Structure 1
Amino acid sequence: MNEPWRPSWEATAVYRARVRGCLLGGAVGDALGYPVEFSALDGIRAAHGARGVTGLVPTTTGAVGLISDDTQMTLFTAEGVRQAHEQQPGKRLGVDGFRLIRWAYERWLATQDHRGPEVVEIGPANGSYTGPRGGLVDEAWLYARRAPGNACMSGLGLDFVPDPAAAFGPPGPINPDSKGCGAVMRSAPFGLTGAGCEDAFDAAARCAQMTHGHPTGYYAAGALAAIIACLLEGESVEGAVLRSLRLLARHPNHEETTAALHQALDLADQGSPSAERLQQLGAGWVAEEALAIGVYAALVEDSVERALLLSVNHSGDSDSTGSICGNILGARHGDHGLPHAWVQRVEGRTTIAAVADDLAAVCGPR
């Protein structure tokens, strides 16, 4: 009988470093952008100098390194994805797996509606989820409202679990006109399971439909997850984006997401990165723009630090674009490739690392 294949120590170490890097990098980008999320570029430069934000800066409360709803939701996504793969190891996610991820999002929703992890019923009014407790929902620091998106809040108030056999293309039943960036900014963990680019795309896009029904809203989420999965396989950022574009081309109504990624690639090819160039891609409030800005910053700069700063110094949704850029760069370079001084100051750093390690332990390289 043939011995089962076991990954080498080196492969396992690289995989775990990239999973950690993805989640920590996203948190760093989020923390860089959160204090200036609603500021115009001129205002950012007036407040922080001609170069804009050059590191972690205080929020209006004076706190430094705070994460926003982007990292909050990403962590709950990772927790739900881990639980789904514990239940269905090595399999493409089905209804039961999607339900576990849905429950994870309901636990996040509880952190937005309560002051702390006291014993409360978790879930929407229909009571579809009341336990078990444990994990992130018992972390007191996560009970903080950091400008959560309307589509995320309203969508999770309705009990919808996607059908894994349904065709993509038409608007989903929840918020069918919404293509805000609230789905793409939380979707990187779907790419961290080692299941491959296609499965990552499928799972992320379907779970995005829990809150965002516009095809561009859920395709952008799928594309980010596919990019992350490709990076874990050793692709370059450009190669990962090109592979995600081939996945997008299989589905109807992909054109907005595809066009935004092509624009990011073309703009990066021109070099000479600047905030003014980046703003040609939009402001990042909608899904395809946030994805394109994160991709552009990760492509055009050869320094992780400069790329992260570029991704947040613009007029728009700076925490989401910073988070997406950080997810990409962390998955590409691992946690050791991130600016250590920034990682050390990010809120919840030890919990974020632990969530990453738990996900990596369950999924592992394949």
Structure 2
Amino acid sequence: MDSDRARGVLLGLACGDALGRPVEFSSSTEISAEHGRLDEMVGHGTWNQPAGTITDDTEQALCIARSLVDRGEFDPADVADQFVAWYDTGPFDIGGMTARSLRRLKSGAPWDEAGQQVWEQSREGQNAGNGSVMRCPPLAIPYANDRERLVEVSRQSSQITHADPRCTVGCALLNLTIAGLLDGAGNPLEDALAFLDGTAPAELAGALDPVARGESPGTLETSGYVVHTLQTALHDGLRADSVEDAVVTAVNRGGDTDTVGAVAGAVAGARFGASGLPDPWLAAIDETEELDSLAARLAEMA
């Protein structure tokens, strides 16, 4: 496996997350008014953190990557434990479904029941967030050559906190796409949809089909809804001319900037490699060295 592309998955995710963090919840108009075109790490803003600070997107991706390396395979119970340990540190940013699921895990619910219970008690409109797709890309590296297992572990990784099929299958589609990019596929999203052979929820497939065909959907949304996040991030990640362009384009759309940026960054990172990421971005992120090391270990597992 190309180590530069494997590193690009994790570092691209972190760069998109950190670039988007200070403008999360801002509109594209508000970002433009304050920053012009935001293309460098800035401090403060949303969450009032220093430049280069990652959020729950990368922090949970690190939980998954560390567990994979420590266990030598995907162990959902261990990943759930890592999430709970992270939750106990009091992160400044955490999604609602994730927090509710992790509280259930803390109280003794099994890894495959906590998220299911939260989902069943959440009404439509608040039951299919992007909190699992943002963290799942590390799985695409060690399981890139075993698509059946990649689908299984991707769905299970989502199930811990996000049990809606749009989320579980969304993780599988994203990771199949990233695995295809790591393997040099010409149209990895089309391949991913075909691999799932019509089992993707209709709303998710309907949003991604035009992206797979190279078409631009009419309006690209940047809400926290998983279908919006995947459609916009895959559009930007697969169509941009560079990983930097993908991340900057995604973040400057506004909305859920850290997560749309993180997913677009992971996709484009798999396309172009970590070598395409600006050095000042990587220098600003404290976790760059660990992400680099984990990516190399994950690539060896493949």
TM interval, short-chain normalised: 0.7 to 0.9
| CA-CA distance at 1:197 after TM superposition | 2.7
The corresponding residue for 2:264 is 325
The corresponding residue for 1:345 is 284
Q: Does 1:258 align with 2:200?
A: no
- Where 1:341 maps in the other structure, the secondary structure is helix
The corresponding residue for 1:154 is 100
Deviation >4 Å, runs of 4+: none
The corresponding residue for 1:58 is 43
The corresponding residue for 1:248 is 196
| CA-CA distance at 1:359 after TM superposition | 2.5
| CA-CA distance at 1:195 after TM superposition | 4.1
Which whole-Å CA distance do the structure 2 matches of 1:228 and 1:77 have between them? Answer: 16
- Listed one character per residue, the Cα deviations across residues 11-68 of structure 1 (whole Å, up to 9, x for unaligned) are 5xx2x3222111011101111111111101111111112xx31222222336211111
The corresponding residue for 1:273 is none
Which whole-Å CA distance do the structure 2 matches of 1:300 and 1:207 have between them? Answer: 27
The corresponding residue for 1:204 is 154
| CA-CA distance at 1:299 after TM superposition | 2.3
Q: Is the contact made by 2:250 and 2:264 (CA closer than 8 Å) also made in structure 1?
A: yes
The corresponding residue for 2:130 is 181
Which whole-Å CA distance do the structure 2 matches of 1:195 and 1:161 have between them? Answer: 26
Q: Is the contact made by 2:98 and 2:162 (CA closer than 8 Å) also made in structure 1?
A: yes
The alignment of Structure 1 onto Structure 2 pairs a total of residues equal to: 289
Which whole-Å CA distance do the structure 1 matches of 2:44 and 2:286 have between them? Answer: 13
Of 77, 81, 95 in structure 1, the residue corresponding to residue 68 of structure 2 is 81
Unpaired stretches in structure 1, ≥5 consecutive residues: 1-10, 113-144, 164-170, 271-276
Which whole-Å CA distance do the structure 1 matches of 2:49 and 2:274 have between them? Answer: 27
Paired letter, 1:161: W
Which whole-Å CA distance do the structure 2 matches of 1:26 and 1:244 have between them? Answer: 20
Of 176, 182, 187 in structure 2, the residue corresponding to residue 232 of structure 1 is 182
| CA-CA distance at 1:339 after TM superposition | 2.1
The corresponding residue for 2:83 is 105
The corresponding residue for 1:71 is 58
Which whole-Å CA distance do the structure 2 matches of 1:72 and 1:199 have between them? Answer: 24
- Listed one character per residue, the Cα deviations across residues 140-159 of structure 1 (whole Å, up to 9, x for unaligned) are xxxxx232101111112222
Paired letter, 1:227: T
- Listed one character per residue, the Cα deviations across residues 115-135 of structure 1 (whole Å, up to 9, x for unaligned) are xxxxxxxxxxxxxxxxxxxxx
| CA-CA distance at 1:288 after TM superposition | 1.4
Q: Is the contact made by 1:20 and 1:356 (CA closer than 8 Å) also made in structure 2?
A: yes
- Listed one character per residue, the Cα deviations across residues 250-277 of structure 1 (whole Å, up to 9, x for unaligned) are 42x61121112124345x535xxxxxx7
- Where 1:185 maps in the other structure, the secondary structure is coil
Q: Is the contact made by 2:119 and 2:163 (CA closer than 8 Å) also made in structure 1?
A: yes
| 1:157-172 alignment, distance < 5 Å | 157-158=103-104, 159-162=109-112, 172=116
Identity among equivalent pairs (%)? 28
- Listed one character per residue, the Cα deviations across residues 97-128 of structure 1 (whole Å, up to 9, x for unaligned) are 2222222222222222xxxxxxxxxxxxxxxx
Which whole-Å CA distance do the structure 2 matches of 1:247 and 1:211 have between them? Answer: 25
State the superposition RMSD in angstroms.
2.2
- Give the direction of change, closer, same or farther, for the CA distance of 1:320–1:214 in structure 2 (3 Å limit): same
Q: Is the contact made by 1:19 and 1:192 (CA closer than 8 Å) also made in structure 2?
A: yes
Of 192, 202, 212 in structure 1, the residue corresponding to residue 141 of structure 2 is 192
The corresponding residue for 2:35 is 48
| CA-CA distance at 1:327 after TM superposition | 0.6
| CA-CA distance at 1:83 after TM superposition | 3.2
Which whole-Å CA distance do the structure 2 matches of 1:307 and 1:250 have between them? Answer: 28
Unpaired stretches in structure 2, ≥5 consecutive residues: none
- Where 2:203 maps in the other structure, the secondary structure is helix
- Give the direction of change, closer, same or farther, for the CA distance of 1:207–1:48 in structure 2 (3 Å limit): same
Q: Is the contact made by 1:197 and 1:225 (CA closer than 8 Å) also made in structure 2?
A: no
Of 20-29 and 190-199, more deviation after overlay is shown by 190-199
Q: Is the contact made by 2:155 and 2:169 (CA closer than 8 Å) also made in structure 1?
A: yes
